[in-house]
Amino acid sequence: MSLSQAYVIGVDYGSDSVRSVLVDAQNGNEVASAVFYYPRWKEGRYCNAAANQFRQHPLDYIEGLEDTIKRCLLQAGSAIAANVKAISVDTTGSTPVAVDATGTPLAMLPQFAENPNAMFVLWKDHTATGEAAEINAHAEKFDTNYLQYVGGIYSSEWFWAKLLRILRADETVRAAIHSWVEHCDWIPFLLTGGKKATEIKRGVCSAGHKGLWAAEWGGLPPDDFFATLDPLLKGFTEKLYTEVYTSDTAVGTISAEWAQRLGLPADVQIGAGAFDCHMGAVGGQIEPYYLSKVMGTSTCDILVAPEAEVGDKLIRGICGQVPGSVIPGMLGMEAGQSAFGDAYAWLRDVLAWPLQHVLSQSSIIDADTAKKLVEEAVDKLIPELSKQADLLEPEEGSELAIDWINGRRTPDADQLLKGAFTGLNMGTDAPRMFRALVEATCFGAKAIVDRFIAEGVPVKGLIALGGVAKKSPFVMQMMADVIGMPIRVHKSEQTCALGAAMFAATTAGLYPNVEAAMQAMGQGFDAEYTPNPARVDVYEKRYKKYIKTGAFLEAQTKKPVAQNQLTEA
C-alpha cells in the first residue's frame, strides 16, 4: 500500500482524559490532535479515594472517542479524512469491566447505570488487595508457577484480583456478568461493531502482563487454579480467551455505524489494542536495553530485549515479561511506580487545602474572585515549589520521603504499603517537603533500574516520555543524578498516541513491521540530562537511607495489614 497521502489515527486513553492524533503515515507529522477530559471522572463520580476505589463510566470513554476523532477530522479537512487507513488504541491498564453476552459493559444497561461495580475498574483501584494476597498464597500450592512471568507477585491492580473482588462484592453484577474485558481490548471491539463477548479479540499485552496468559500452559491457567481459589471463578476461563494478538495485527474493519458516526471510510482497519506505556515506548523510539519511562500520574517502565538474549531468565518482582507485548519478536518487560505525578498532586492538594476551604469564607472578596484566586494559586503551586526546591542543595541528613503514596508497583508489588516523611523539623517547609518527595520518586525509579541489573538484564540508559518529562527539568535532572545515567527526553508531546499511530500504520500494511514505522515516523529527542558528578555521591548515600527506611516501614506495616485483609475477605 502506498504511503502517499495515507493517514492514521492513534487514540490514547489516560487516567483523566483521552487524546487522539491524526498523523501523516509517511513521516509521523501530526496533522491534528484533540483532547477530551472525562466529565463524570472530573466530577469525582463513582470514586472513593479513602477506600482506594476508582471507577470510570464507559460513556466517558465513548463520548471521548467520538469527540476527539471528529475534532481531528474537522481540523484536517475532508480530503485527509477520506485517506485515513487505520486506527489503533492504547489505554491504561489493568482497567477491566464486566460485560454481558453481547460484550456491552453492564454500566451501559439501565439497571446498572449508576453502579460503580458495573464500570471500568481503573488501574489505580486498590480495592482488591485482599484478593491479590490470596492469589499469591494460592499460587504456591501448584507445581506450575503460574506467576513466573509476572515477576512472581500478583498485584491488586490486575485483572484476576479485580474480577474476584467485584464478584464477591456485588451479587447483581455477579448474576449478570458474562465476561471480563480490558479497556484496551474493548474499544477495538466497539469500533468493529462486535456483538458477542466471545468474539472480543484480546491483545497479548493485556493478556500476558495482567491476565496470566502464557504460551507455555496453552493460554490462561487451568480452571482448577481459579476454582480452588474461589468457587465463584469456576468455569470463568471458558468465558474468556485462548488466542491473543500482537498490536501489529488488525482485529477487524471499522463498522458501518462507527464509520458514519465519525466520518471515516468504510475500509479503515482497527488494530489490536495495548496498554499506554507499551505503545508509548514505541512512540518514544525505544531501543533494546534502554528503559522507557512513561511519566504521568504514575510511571510505566518498559524494557525490550531479543528473546534469545534473555533466554530463560525470570525477572523477579516486575510487572511481567511477555514475548511480543511491545515489539513483536522481542521480549517486553514492564515495571513502574504507582504514584509519580499523583504524588506531587497529593502534596499540592494538601498545601492547597486552606485556600480551598478558608478563602471561600472571606468577607473581603466575593466568591467568584475567591474561586479564581484558588484556581490560579493551585495551578502555580507545583511550578513554584519546583523552582524553590531546585535552589536547595541535597544534604545527607535532610528530610527523606518514601514514595509509596499509592502503594508500590515495582519492584515487588504491594499496594498495602504507605508513604512517609522522616527527618522533619521546625525548619521543614513546603519546598523541602516537595524536594524530598520528588527525590523519593527518583529513588523509586532507581530501585527499578537496580532490580533489572541485579536480575541480569542490563540497562544502558533511560528514555523519558510524558508530561512530567516534558514539563519539569527539576525532576528530570534529579532523576539523572540519582540513577547516575543519562536520560533522553522524546520530542513528541503525545508519545502514547503517536505509538498507537505507528501500530495503526503497520496494521494497515503501510510498513512491513513496527520497527520500520518507528524509524520513519519517530520524531526524535529534544533534551538530554546527564548526571551532575557533584551530587551523585550524596544521592547514593541518601538512596541507601531510602532503602533502609522503606524496609523498616514495610516490616512494620505489611504483615499486620495483609493478615487483616485476608481475615476480612
DSSP character string of 464-530: EESHHHHH-HHHHHHHHHHHTS-EEEES-S-HHHHHHHHHHHHHTTSSSSHHHHHHHH---EEEEE-
pLDDT at position 362: 84
Give yes or no: residues 233 and 353 share one domain: no
Cell 532490580 -> residue:
451
Sign of the C-alpha dihedral, residues 425, 428, 432, 433? positive
Give yes or no: residues 512 and 559 share one domain: no
pLDDT at position 2: 64
Give yes or no: residues 115 and 247 share one domain: yes
Give yes or no: residues 501 and 563 share one domain: no
pLDDT at position 467: 84
Give yes or no: residues 25 and 127 share one domain: yes
pLDDT at position 558: 61
Distance CA 48, CA 125 (A): 10
Distance CA 103, CA 121 (A): 16
Distance CA 332, CA 259 (A): 33
Residue 330 lies in a domain: no
Query: In this structure, what is the dihedral angle of CA atoms 492, 493, 495, 501, given to the nearest 10 degrees?
Result: -80
- CATH code: domain of residue 444: 3.30.420.40
Classify residue 213 as left (phi > 0), alpha (psi -120 to 50) or beta.
beta
Closest CA to 101 of 199, 220, 204: 199
Report yes or no: 484 and 491 within 8 Å, Cβ to Cβ. Answer: no
Q: How many CB atoms lie within 10 A of CB 164?
A: 23
Which residues are paired to 22 by β-bridges?
Answer: 9, 32
Please give the C-alpha separations between residue 167 and each of 111, 185, 400, in angstroms, as whole numbers: 17, 21, 41
Give yes or no: residues 229 and 359 share one domain: no
Distance of CA 107 to the CA centre of its chain: 22
Residue 294 lies in a domain: no
Give yes or no: residues 513 and 550 share one domain: no
Residue 487 lies in a domain: no
Report yes or no: 101 and 178 within 8 Å, Cβ to Cβ. Answer: yes
Give yes or no: residues 166 and 243 share one domain: yes
Distance CA 123, CA 280 (A): 17
Give yes or no: residues 71 and 187 share one domain: yes
What are the grid coordinates assigned to 100, written together?
454481558
Distance CA 415, CA 462 (A): 26
- pLDDT tens string, the chain, 569 residues long: the values are 567 789 999 999 999 999 999 999 999 999 999 999 999 999 999 999 999 999 999 999 999 999 999 999 999 999 999 999 999 999 999 999 999 999 999 999 999 999 999 999 999 999 999 999 999 999 999 999 999 999 999 999 999 999 999 999 999 999 999 999 999 999 999 999 999 999 999 999 999 999 999 999 999 999 999 999 999 999 999 999 999 999 999 999 999 999 999 999 999 999 999 999 999 999 999 999 999 999 988 899 999 999 999 999 999 999 999 999 999 999 999 999 999 999 999 999 999 999 888 888 888 888 889 889 989 999 999 999 999 999 999 999 999 999 999 999 999 989 889 999 999 999 999 999 999 999 999 999 999 999 999 999 999 999 999 888 999 999 999 999 999 999 999 998 899 999 999 999 999 999 999 999 999 999 999 999 999 999 999 999 999 999 999 999 999 876 554 444 433 33
User: Interhelix angle for 430-454 vs 533-568, to 10°?
Assistant: 80
What are the grid coordinates assigned to 262, written together?
465519525
Sign of the C-alpha dihedral, residues 325, 408, 183, 518? negative
Report yes or no: 411 and 320 within 8 Å, Cβ to Cβ. Answer: no
Half-sphere exposure of 163 (CA within 13 A, CB side): 27
Residue 390 lies in a domain: yes
Report yes or no: 445 and 409 within 8 Å, Cβ to Cβ. Answer: no
Give yes or no: residues 445 and 505 share one domain: no
Residue 291 lies in a domain: no
Q: How many CB atoms lie within 10 A of CB 567?
A: 8
Distance CA 385, CA 495 (A): 27
Using only C-alpha atoms, the chain has a radius of gyration, in whole angstroms, of 23
Give yes or no: residues 185 and 102 share one domain: yes
Distance CA 345, CA 492 (A): 23
Range of the domain at 507: 7-284+495-526
Distance CA 441, CA 313 (A): 28
Residue 290 lies in a domain: no
What are the grid coordinates assigned to 448, written together?
527499578
Q: How many CB atoms lie within 10 A of CB 259?
A: 17
Distance of CA 266 to the CA centre of its chain: 31
What are the grid coordinates assigned to 542, written together?
541518601
Distance CA 401, CA 234 (A): 44
Angle CA 471–477–483, to nearest 5: 125
Residue burial 288-321, b: 16+ Cβ < 10 Å; e: rest: ebbbbbbbbbbbbbbbbbeeeebeeeebebbbbb
Residue 394 lies in a domain: yes
Report yes or no: 37 and 20 within 8 Å, Cβ to Cβ. Answer: no
pLDDT at position 367: 86
What are the grid coordinates assigned to 529, written together?
540530562
Report yes or no: 15 and 37 within 8 Å, Cβ to Cβ. Answer: no
Distance CA 257, CA 469 (A): 39
Which DSSP string do the residues of 377-420 spell out, in sequence order? HHHHHHHHHHHHHTTSPP-TTS-EEE--BTBB-SSS-BTT---E
* Phi, psi angle pair for 89, to nearest 5°: -130, 140
Distance of CA 473 to the CA centre of its chain: 22
Distance CA 346, CA 363 (A): 29
The conformation of residue 144, written as its DSSP 8-state character, comes to: S
Sign of the C-alpha dihedral, residues 359, 365, 367, 368? negative
What are the grid coordinates assigned to 145, written together?
508457577
Give yes or no: residues 433 and 349 share one domain: yes
Per the structure, the count of domains in the chain is 2
Distance of CA 188 to the CA centre of its chain: 18
**Total residue length of the chain:** 569
Residue 333 lies in a domain: no
Q: How many CB atoms lie within 10 A of CB 388?
A: 16
